[in-house]
């Protein structure tokens, strides 16, 4: 088939759309940053794309709470299109602010409505913006399409509201795809878990594995020279994050 079409959703305050589009293009997709107003006006149609991505940034200044305003706008103005897109078996990826949006819109983990959250993302335990690199472990047996064939990753985070919280009743059934980890396999205490997320959760998916969101930024490490110590010979080619994008493109070509 032709190169899969990827819609990189933009809004006021989005700032990782170009890096995310570049990563998908390097993986063989045709990526287009599209402002949400163009979808609302009908100038663009979500159904014309194979993959929807909500990238990182600080949409609407993270007013009220991180991702909350865009989540409301997305579901109130485009909710039917989004639900149809998912039910058609297409892929959805949220990165950092995109994770916050997807949780607060009820897209993940699949709440019946925006008001029936099973989880939320809130302020980091450190009460400050965390910008650092973290070790990640892909949960064995996860149905997540985006992490297939990947065991571990080393990626950067940059967020102030990345702590995932949920109830003890929900946690056992939560489809966790990615956890913060220690390089030696030990406990991921701060700063290895940069925000205090329950059970060291860094990313979750839906039951199908086609809808996935994570707090770390895979688009910021797709080449060795993006590794913080690449001049010392550390890191690999391609970067650890690149597999997220190649997996998505391969699935969309399916």
Those residues whose C-beta lies under 8 Å from the C-beta of residue 65, and which sit 6 or more positions away, are: 100, 104, 122, 161
- ∠ CA 211-180-231 to the nearest 5 degrees? 105
pLDDT value at residue 2: 81
DSSP E strands, the chain = 5-10, 30-35, 51-54, 91-95, 119-122, 130-138, 152-159, 163-166, 176-181, 201-205, 211-214
Position 205 scores a pLDDT of: 96
Domains: count for the chain: 1
Catalytic residue, from 19, 73, 130, 219: name it.
Answer: 219
**With contact defined as beta carbons under 8 Å apart, do 181 and 152 qualify?**
yes
What CATH number does the domain containing 11 carry?
3.40.50.880
Handedness of CA 191, 192, 198, 202 (dihedral sign): positive
pLDDT tens sequence across 182-197:
998 778 999 999 999 9
Would residue 144 show up in a list of annotated catalytic residues for this protein? no
**Catalytic annotation present for 205:** no
Name the average pLDDT for the chain.
94
For the entire predicted model, the pTM comes to 0.95
Model pLDDT, residue 170: 87
The question of whether 96 is a catalytic residue gets the answer: yes
Domain that holds residue 66: 5-253
- DSSP-based three-state secondary structure for 50: coil
Positions of the chain with pLDDT lower than 50, given as ranges: 113-115
Candidates 19, 73, 96, 130; catalytic one: 96
Reading the block at residue 104, the tokens are: 């607060």
- 67 burial (CB, 10 Å; 0-12 / 13-18 / 19+) is buried
Residue among 135, 159, 217, 227 flagged as catalytic: 217
Find, among 81, 3, 98, the residue nearest to 46 by Cα: 81
Phi and psi dihedrals of 228, rounded to 5? -65, -20
Q: Using a CB cutoff of 8 Å and minimum separation of 24, what contacts does 251-254 make?
A: 251/91, 251/145, 251/210, 252/4, 252/29, 252/50, 252/51, 252/90, 252/91, 253/1, 253/4
The secondary structure of residue 57, as a DSSP letter, is B
For 226, the token pair is 């993006």
Tens of pLDDT, residues 33-92: 999 999 999 999 999 999 999 999 999 999 889 999 999 999 999 999 999 999 999 999
Inter-residue contact 78 to 46 (CB < 8 Å):
yes
Q: How far apart are CA 245 and CA 20, in angstroms?
A: 9
């Amino acid at each position: 088939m032709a190169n899969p079409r990827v819609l990189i959703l933009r809004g006021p305050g989005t700032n990782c759309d170009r890096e995310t589009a570049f990563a998908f293009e390097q993986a063989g997709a045709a990526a287009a940053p599209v402002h949400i107003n163009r979808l609302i006006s009908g100038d663009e149609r979500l159904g014309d794309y194979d993959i929807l991505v909500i990238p990182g940034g600080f949409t609407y200044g993270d007013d009220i709470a991180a991702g909350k305003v865009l989540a409301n706008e997305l579901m109130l103005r485009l909710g039917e299109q989004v639900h149809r897109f998912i039910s058609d078996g297409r892929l959805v990826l949220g990165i950092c602010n995109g994770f916050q949006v997807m949780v607060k819109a009820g897209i993940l983990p699949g709440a019946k409505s925006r008001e029936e959250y099973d989880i939320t993302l809130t302020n980091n335990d450190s009460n400050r913006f965390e910008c650092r690199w973290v070790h990640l472990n892909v949960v064995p047996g996860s149905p997540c399409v985006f992490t297939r064939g990947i065991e571990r990753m080393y990626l950067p985070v940059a967020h102030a509201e990345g702590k995932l919280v949920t109830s003890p009743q929900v946690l056992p059934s939560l489809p966790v795809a990615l956890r913060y980890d220690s390089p030696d396999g030990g406990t991921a205490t701060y700063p290895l878990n940069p925000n205090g997320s329950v059970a060291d959760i860094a990313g979750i998916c839906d039951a199908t594995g086609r809808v996935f969101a994570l707090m770390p930024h895979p688009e910021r490490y797709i080449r060795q020279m993006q590794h913080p110590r690449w001049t010392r010979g550390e890191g690999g080619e391609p970067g650890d994050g690149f597999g997220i994008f190649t997996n998505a493109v391969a699935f969309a070509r399916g």
